[in-house]
Amino acid sequence: MLEADPLDLLGATQTELSLHVDGCTRCRTAAQRMLEVERELRDALGAATPRRSVNDAVRVARRRAWRRSWLWRASPLAAAAVLAIVWLGRRAPLQQPASPPIRPAGGSGVAVAAPPGKSVAVFRTDNPDIVVIWFF
């Protein structure tokens, strides 16, 4: 019965199964229940529409891939810029600090002294192990 044609389960054809279902109350009840569950499943699948159409999903995926590739292309440039800033910042020999070292609040244990004529900013992050030190 699980593999039978729905028309046979309805007792609407002249097959052996259909004729039996038509005359047997127990099998007819089982067949009707199977058809009912099949109808509920079909309705549920019909109502489950995807959030996006296929075209929209492809467009979104392409846009994400393009952004990722752009970031990968731009990251060496960003790394070079950071290295250049560090290199330029270290060209001048460090001398005795003009002001006492700044200790960031929160007890991170980091003491930072700005070189003469320069400033320093210390930023705490949400991660207690990470402190951002900015010389400018």
CA pseudo-torsion sign 60, 66, 69, 75: negative
**Helix, strand or coil for residue 50?**
coil
Q: Per-residue contact track with Zn ion, 77 to 116, x per CB under 5 A?
A: ----------------------------------------
Q: Per-residue contact track with Zn ion, 25 to 44, x per CB under 5 A?
A: --x-----------------
- List 24, 58, 81, 98, residue binding Zn ion (CB under 5 A): 24
Say whether residue 1 binds Zn ion (CB under 5 A). Answer: no
- Least separation in angstroms between residue 10's CB and Zn ion is 15
Q: CB 133: neighbour CB atoms within 10 A? A: 13
Which residues, 6+ apart, have CB-to-CB distance to 99 below 8 Å?
Answer: 113, 114
Stretch that binds Zn ion, among 16-24, 38-46, 96-104, 125-133 (CB under 5 A): 16-24
Stretch that binds Zn ion, among 22-30, 39-47, 71-79, 82-90 (CB under 5 A): 22-30
Pure H helices in 1-136: 6-9, 16-23, 25-47, 54-91
